[in-house]
Structures are given as structure tokens and as C-alpha cells.
């Protein structure tokens, strides 16, 4: 049995180079990553699984702060040291695509990966974000992805997963906003190549040229809100109280945007349950189990 490490510890590429601890290891990579609740969530689930099956008693989940320029070396080291599974968060979900051996077809169509599974020839990339987001929105906001037009904030890997999941589920129309035009145009182009008949309306946050729907499912897929001093990326006064707002951020539990939308009478939800559902799906991939203890994962994340 391997010695358990603190759920609050954050490791670096330097630590990874010297990694030689026994056991089965799982990890999450991001930058920043110190806010991540994933170690609490996954290790609690693994402890419960270990009570039922001793093979999981030496499984461990930790986090690494890996800047984008260190990602290729980090993934090579993780594979060489046989880390069984890896989660990827901002800013690695798109950049990791060419660095893995194979990509699951659904993740390939999304154009982003957040879950890696160790195989002898290299990591296989999956995307569990779309599943996690859809399940969280349905259970917390009583809204299906095809019930309302979608206004998506952001154009990175998380936004790609959200947009593709919405289109797969038959969302009628999507407005996609971003701060910079280059990445926005790239995302819209990718979507239209996969879904040429879809109704996509790109807009820049500082522009009022594109009218937005009054009633919408608004999804924040940016990192704006991680810091309490962050400001709103755009004017939100156009949205009516019949809209709903889902923020992928879960730390802090109430973001600047959640407060602003809430003041307008709009139902809001943070990304904690998305984290739980996408994490549970990742753990199912790594363990081969049909179901893992979701409730235990949620309680651990909340208590953390």
C-alpha cells in the first residue's frame, strides 16, 4: 500500500521528474491548479471503492501545476512513470490533442480532451466535460440543452466541449462570445466544419453589434470569476429573468457573474456538479467500473 499524500498538496514538473512512489497514480494538470478540488473528490471515491475491493487501496490522485510550455514534457514523464489516468484543465484541453497517442471519436469531434487513460503505446484522450455539464444543468437548473438558445462565453477547450455537446443534443441556436477575435473565429470555423447547418452567431465581449436573445441558457466557459476582483466580461442587462445561467467555475462557489445574474432574478448554478459528473465519468474510464460513488465525490468536494 502506498503512503497517502495530502489532498491540498500541489506538485510541479520538478517533483514529477523525481517521482518514484509505489502505487497506482492519477493526476490533474492545470495552471493555476491550487484551487482544484479534484484530489479531495477522487481520493474519497477511491477510499470507498477500496473498502469494497482492496485493489483500490493503493490508488492515489494528486495535482500538478504545469504551465503550458511544460505540458509536452509533463505528459511524457507521466506516461513513462505509468500514471494510470490524467485529468486536464485550463489551459491544456486543446493543446494536449497532438500530444496523445489516440483520441476518442467523440472527443475528436469536440476538439478538446480533459481525460487521459494510460495504454502501453501512449495516452488515449477522452472528453467528459460535455456529459458533466449537461447532467449538472439538467439536475440543477431543470433545463435541457435544447430547451433554449445558448449564449456561450469563451472560446477555449471548455467552450468547445460545451458547444459541441449542445449541438449534439439539438440546441437550436448558439451565440458565442469571446474577448479576442482570433480564437473565437477558430472555434466558430471548427464548429461549422462539423455542423455546417448550425446557427452560430459570434460576438466580441466589448461589442454590441450582435443582438443577444432575451431568454437563453447562458454558459460561462471562461476563467473569469476565478478571482473575486474579476469584472463582468460584458453587459448582461439584455437577459430576462426567464434565462438561466451556468458557471463552469466552482471555486469560489458564488462568482461575480453568478451574483450579477442572480440580482436580475435569473436562476444560477456553479460548476461543482459538473466537476463531480465529469470526474465520475473519468474514474469509470480508469477503473473500468460501470458506476463509481458520485455522492461521495460530491460530499468531499463540498466539504473541501
- What does the DSSP assignment read for 3-18? PPPPTT-EE-HHHHHT
Q: Crossing angle, helix 272-287 and helix 129-141, to 10 degrees? A: 140
Neighbours of 232 (CB within 10 A): 14
Q: Which of 4, 81, 82, 93 is catalytic?
A: 93
Nearest residue to 178 via CA among 198, 207, 146: 207
Contact 97, 44 (CB under 8 A): no
Q: What is the pLDDT of residues 88-111, one digit of tens each?
A: 998 999 899 999 999 999 898 888
The separation between the first and the last C-alpha atoms of the chain, rounded to the nearest angstrom, is 25
Model confidence at 2, pLDDT cuts 50, 70, 90, reads: low
Contact 304, 7 (CB under 8 A): yes
Q: What's the rounded Cα separation, in Å, for the pair 85 and 46?
A: 13
93 labelled catalytic: yes
Q: What is the pLDDT of residues 253-295, one digit of tens each?
A: 899 999 999 999 999 999 999 999 999 999 999 999 999 999 9
Q: What is the pLDDT of residues 212-261, one digit of tens each?
A: 999 999 999 998 887 878 889 999 999 999 999 999 998 888 999 999 99
Name the H helices within the chain.
Answer: 13-17, 38-52, 71-80, 105-110, 129-141, 157-168, 181-194, 256-263, 272-287, 294-303
**Whether pLDDT at 3 is above 70:** no
**Three-class secondary structure of residue 169 per DSSP:** coil
**Three-class secondary structure of residue 175 per DSSP:** strand
Q: What's the rounded Cα separation, in Å, for the pair 191 and 242?
A: 27
Nearest residue to 69 via CA among 95, 90, 87: 95
Q: What's the rounded Cα separation, in Å, for the pair 93 and 285?
A: 17
Amino acid at each position: 500500500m502506498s503512503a497517502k499524500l495530502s489532498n491540498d498538496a500541489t506538485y510541479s514538473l520538478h517533483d514529477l521528474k523525481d517521482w518514484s512512489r509505489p502505487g497506482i497514480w492519477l493526476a490533474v494538470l492545470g495552471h493555476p491548479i491550487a484551487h482544484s478540488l479534484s484530489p479531495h473528490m477522487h481520493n474519497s471515491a477511491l477510499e470507498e471503492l477500496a473498502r469494497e475491493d482492496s485493489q483500490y487501496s493503493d490508488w492515489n490522485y494528486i495535482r500538478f501545476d504545469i504551465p503550458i510550455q511544460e505540458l509536452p514534457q509533463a505528459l511524457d514523464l507521466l506516461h513513462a512513470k505509468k500514471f494510470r489516468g490524467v485529468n486536464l484543465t485550463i489551459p491544456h484541453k486543446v493543446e494536449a490533442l497532438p500530444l496523445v497517442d489516440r483520441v476518442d471519436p467523440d472527443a475528436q469531434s469536440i476538439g478538446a480532451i480533459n481525460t487521459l487513460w494510460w495504454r502501453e503505446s501512449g495516452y488515449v484522450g477522452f472528453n467528459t466535460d460535455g456529459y458533466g455539464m449537461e447532467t449538472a444543468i439538467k439536475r440543477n437548473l431543470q433545463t435541457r440543452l435544447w430547451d433554449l438558445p445558448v449564449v456561450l462565453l469563451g472560446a477555449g477547450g471548455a467552450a468547445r466541449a460545451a458547444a459541441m455537446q449542445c449541438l449534439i443534443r439539438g440546441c437550436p441556436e448558439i451565440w458565442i462570445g469571446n474577448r479576442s477575435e482570433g480564437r473565437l473565429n477558430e472555434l466558430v470555423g471548427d464548429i461549422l466544419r462539423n455542423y455546417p447547418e448550425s446557427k452560430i452567431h459570434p460576438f466580441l465581449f466589448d461589442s454590441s453589434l450582435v443582438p443577444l436573445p432575451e431568454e437563453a441558457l447562458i454558459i460561462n466557459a471562461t476563467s473569469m470569476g476565478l478571482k473575486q476582483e474579476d469584472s463582468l466580461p460584458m453587459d448582461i442587462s439584455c437577459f430576462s429573468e426567464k434565462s438561466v445561467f451556468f458557471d463552469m467555475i466552482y471555486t469560489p462557489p458564488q462568482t461575480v457573474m453568478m451574483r450579477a445574474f442572480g440580482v436580475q432574478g435569473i436562476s444560477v448554478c456553479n460548476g461543482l456538479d459538473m466537476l463531480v459528473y465529469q470526474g465520475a465519468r473519468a474514474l469509470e474510464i480508469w477503473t473500468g467500473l460501470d458506476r463509481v460513488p458520485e455522492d461521495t465525490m460530491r460530499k468531499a468536494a463540498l466539504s473541501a
